[in-house]
């Protein structure tokens, strides 16, 4: 497997979320099927119905494009759910399937990719 992009930033605190998604989309157009791992504060990017009170574009709109780009390898760090106080039912509307990973599986995921980029 090629590139794993680790999403650790809040959606609008800085440009990390958007910049990482731009890389994911471009890798997908190069048929590199990137994997995305959401960890820590990065999980907040997955809340499609979160109210965006900032003037910045809702990150959820990019997520909705994942199926069009064939971005299908979505992983969520299970330990981060508790830490971020996010219940699974808030992820029901995600447009893509995701896998919950425990700590060992996160390690394994990282070992299975040639490149890792952390945002």
Partner 1 sequence: MPAMDLLNYCIIVRCGPDQQSQALSALEFTQALLTQGHNVERVFFYQQGVLTASRLRTPAQGELNITKLWQKLQVENKLELDVCIAAALQNGIVDKTESERYELGAYNLASGFQLAGLGQLAGATIACDRVVTFGASQ
Closest distance between partner 1 and the C-beta of residue 22, in Å? 6
Write the interaction track for partner 1 spanning residues 4-43; mark x where CB under 8 A is met and - where it is not: ----xx----xxx--x--xx--xx-xx-x-----------
Whole-number Å distance between alpha carbons of 66 and 111:
24
Whole-number Å distance between alpha carbons of 36 and 34:
7
Stretch that binds partner 1, among 57-65, 66-74, 88-96, 109-117 (CB under 8 A): 109-117
Token pair, residue 71, equals 């971005």
What is the number of other CB atoms lying within 10 angstroms of the CB of residue 102? Answer: 11
* CA-wise closest residue to 110 among 27, 6, 20: 6
If binding is defined by CB under 8 A, does position 3 make contact with partner 1? yes
To the nearest 10°, the Cα dihedral for 53, 81, 96, 58? 10
Closest distance between partner 1 and the C-beta of residue 11, in Å? 14
If binding is defined by CB under 8 A, does position 49 make contact with partner 1? no
Q: How many residues bind partner 1 (CB under 8 A)?
A: 20
Q: Which residues bind partner 1 (CB under 8 A)?
A: 2-3, 8-9, 14-16, 19, 22-23, 26-27, 29-30, 32, 114-115, 117-119
């Amino acid at each position: 497997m090629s590139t794993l992009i680790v999403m650790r930033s809040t959606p609008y605190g800085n440009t990390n979320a958007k910049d990482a998604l731009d890389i994911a989309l471009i890798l997908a157009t190069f048929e590199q099927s990137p994997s995305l791992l959401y960890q820590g504060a990065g999980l907040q990017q997955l809340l499609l119905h979160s109210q965006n009170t900032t003037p910045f574009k809702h990150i959820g709109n990019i997520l909705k494009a994942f199926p069009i780009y064939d971005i299908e390898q979505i992983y969520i760090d299970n330990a981060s759910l508790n830490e971020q106080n996010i219940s699974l039912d808030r992820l029901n509307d995600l447009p893509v399937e995701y896998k919950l990973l425990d700590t060992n599986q996160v390690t394994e995921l990282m070992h299975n990719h040639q490149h890792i980029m952390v945002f």
